[in-house]
Structure 1
Amino acid sequence: MKRRKFLYLAAAASITPLLAQCNRRRSSLPLKSFPRFSSTSGLLDLSLTAQHSTDIKIGKQFAKRMTYNGHSPGPILEVQAGDTIRLTMANELGEPTNLHYHGLHISPEIDNVFREVSSGEAYTYEFQIPSNHPAVTGWYHPHYHLKVASQIFNGLAGPLIVRGKLDEIPEVQQAKEEVLVLQDFEPNFPDDEALSTLAKRWGREGSIQLVNGQQNPIIDLPQNGLLRLRLINASASRIYQLKLLEHPWFLIATDRGAIAEPQEIETLLLSPGERADLLIPGQIEPGDYGLLSLPYDRGLAEMIQGIGNHAKQVPGVALPAETTIATLRYVEGNRTSPLPLPKALIPVDRLPNPSTTREFLLNHGIDTTAGSNSFIINGQSFVMDRVNTQVQLNQVEDWHIINKASVDHPFHLHTNRFQVIERNGKPEPLLAWKDTVSVGGYESVKIRVRFEDYTGRTVYHCHILDHEDQGMMGIVEIV
Structure 2
Amino acid sequence: MQSLNRRQFLVLSASSAGAVLLSQCSRGQTQTVPKAPLSLPKLYTSKDGLLDLELEASYRQVNLDGKPTNLLSYNGQVPGPRLEAKPGDIVRIRFKNNLSDPTNIHYHGLHIPPTGNADDVFRRIDSGESALYEFSIPQQHPGGIAYYHPHLHGYVADQILGGLGGMFIVRGALDEIPEIQAAEQTFLFLKDFVVEQRQPMMGRMAGREGDLVTVNGQVNPSFSIPAGGLARLRLVNASNARFYRLALEKHPLYLIATDGHPLSTPVEIQELLLSPGERAEVLVQGDQEAGQYRLLNLPYSRGQMGMMGGGMMRRDRGGPGMMGRGRMGPGMMEGNDQDSPQTLATLAYTGQVEPQSIPQQLIEVETLPEPQTVRQFELDHGMVPGQGMVFLINGKSFDHQRIDTQVSLDTVEDWEVSNTGVMDHPFHLHTNPFQVIARNGQPVPYQAWKDTVLIPTGETVRIRIPFRDFPGKTVYHCHILDHEELGMMGTIEMKA
> How far apart, in 1, do the equivalents of 2:279 and 2:338 lie?
24
Is 2:346 the counterpart of 1:327? yes
Q: Which runs of 5+ in 1 are unaligned?
A: 1-8
Contact 2:370 2:412 in 1 (8 A): yes
Match of 1:251 in 2: 255
Q: Is the 8 A contact 2:301 2:335 kept in 1?
A: no
Q: Note if contact 1:372-1:381 (Cα within 8 Å) is conserved in structure 2.
A: no
Please tell me whether the aligned partners of residues 189 and 315 of structure 1 are also in contact (alpha carbons under 8 angstroms).
no
Are 1:204 and 2:220 counterparts?
no
From the superposition, tell whether residues 304 and 80 of structure 1 become closer, same or farther in structure 2 (CA, over 3 Å). same
Q: Name the SS of the counterpart of 2:449 in structure 1.
A: coil
Relative to 1, partners in 2 of residues 1:93 and 1:151: Cα closer, same or farther, differing over 3 Å?
same
Displacement of 1:371 in angstroms is: 4.3
**Aligned partners of 1:352, 1:451: CA distance in 2, in Å?**
12
Instruction: Name the structure 2 match of 1:132.
Output: 140
Identify which of 55, 65, 74 aligns with 2:62. Answer: 55
Deviation at 1:307, TM superposition (A): 4.4
* 1:93 match: 99
Deviations 1:85-110 (A, max 9, x none): 00011111110110000110000002
- One-letter amino acid of the structure 1 residue matched with residue 84 of structure 2: E
- What residue number does 1:363 align with? 380
| Higher strand residue share | 2
Correspondence for 2:449 among 398, 411, 433: 433
SS at match of 2:457: coil
1:350 — aligned with what?
Answer: 367
Deviation at 1:46, TM superposition (A): 0.2
Equivalents in 2 of 1:322, 1:462: separation in Å? 26
Moved over 6 A (4+): 314-317
Query: Which of 352, 358, 379 matches 1:341?
Result: 358
Residue 250 of structure 2 is aligned to residue 235 of structure 1: no
Q: 1:300 Cα deviation (Å)?
A: 2.2
2:483 equivalent to 1:477: no
Alignment counterpart, residue 297 of structure 2, candidates 285, 293, 299: 293
| Distance across 2 between alignment mates of 1:299 and 1:400 | 21
1:158-307 matches, cutoff 5 A = 158-190=166-198, 199-300=203-304, 305-307=327-329
Give the distance between the partners of 1:32 and 1:263, measured in 2 at CA. 28
Q: Which amino acid aligns with 1:39?
A: S
Partners of 2:200 and 2:210 within 8 A in 1:
no
2:64–2:78 CA contact under 8 A, matched in 1: no
Matched with 2:154 is: 146
Select the residue among 299, 311, 318 that pairs with 2:337: 318
Q: Which moved more, 1:98-107 or 1:424-433?
A: 424-433
Distance 1:137 1:106 in 2: 14
Quick one: structure 1 residues 304 and 141, their matched pair in 2 at CA, closer, same or farther if it must change by over 3 Å? farther
Deviation of the 1:256 alpha carbon: 3.4
Question: Partner residue of 1:4?
Answer: none
Instruction: Give yes or no for contact 1:186–1:315 (8 Å, CA) kept in 2.
Output: no
Equivalent residue for 2:477, pick from 445, 455, 461:
461
Q: Which amino acid aligns with 2:345?
A: A
1:462: Cα distance to partner? 0.3
**Match for 2:415 among 399, 417, 428?**
399
Letter in 1 for 2:34: S
Q: Would the alpha carbon gap of residues 41 and 130 (structure 1) be closer, same or farther in structure 2, given more than 3 Å must change?
A: same
Contact kept in structure 2, 1:199 and 1:317, CA below 8 Å: no
- CA shift for structure 1 position 116: 0.7
The yes-or-no answer on 1:25 pairing with 2:15 is no
Higher alpha-carbon deviation: 88-97 or 282-291: 282-291
What's 2:4 paired with?
A: none
Deviations 1:292-347 (A, max 9, x none): 10000001285983347x98xx99973444101011111104x2x21211110000
Structure 2 portions without partners, runs of 5+: 1-16, 306-314, 316-324
SS in 2 for 1:25: coil
d(CA) in 1 for partners of 2:388, 2:402: 14
Equivalences, count:
457
Distance 1:96 1:440, change over 3 A: same
More helix by share: 1
TM-score (norm 1): 0.90
Do the aligned residues in 2 keep the contact of 1:195 with 1:315 (CA within 8 Å)?
Answer: no
Percent identical across equivalent pairs? 47
Distance 1:87 1:189 in 2: 35
- The yes-or-no answer on 1:421 pairing with 2:437 is yes
Question: Which deviations, in whole Å up to 9, do the C-alpha atoms of 1:422-449 show, x marking residues without a partner?
Answer: 1111111121000000111111100000
Q: Which amino acid aligns with 2:176?
A: E
Per the alignment, residue 64 of structure 1 pairs with 70
Aligned to 1:374, the other structure's residue is in SS state strand
What amino acid is aligned across from residue 464 of structure 1 in structure 2?
A: I
TM-score by length of 2: 0.87
Q: Distance in 2 between matches of 1:113 and 1:341?
A: 39
| One-letter amino acid of the counterpart of residue 202, structure 1 | A
Q: Distance in 1 between matches of 2:439 and 2:348?
A: 37
Q: 1:89 to 1:206 in 2, by over 3 A?
A: same
Q: Deviations over 1:125-179 (max 9, x none)?
A: 0000001100011110000101111111111010000001111111111211111
Query: What letter is aligned with 2:128?
Result: G
Matching of residue 378 in structure 1 with residue 394 in structure 2: yes
Contact conserved, 2:197 with 2:211, CA < 8 A, in 1? no
Give the 3-state SS of the residue equivalent to 1:199 in structure 2: coil
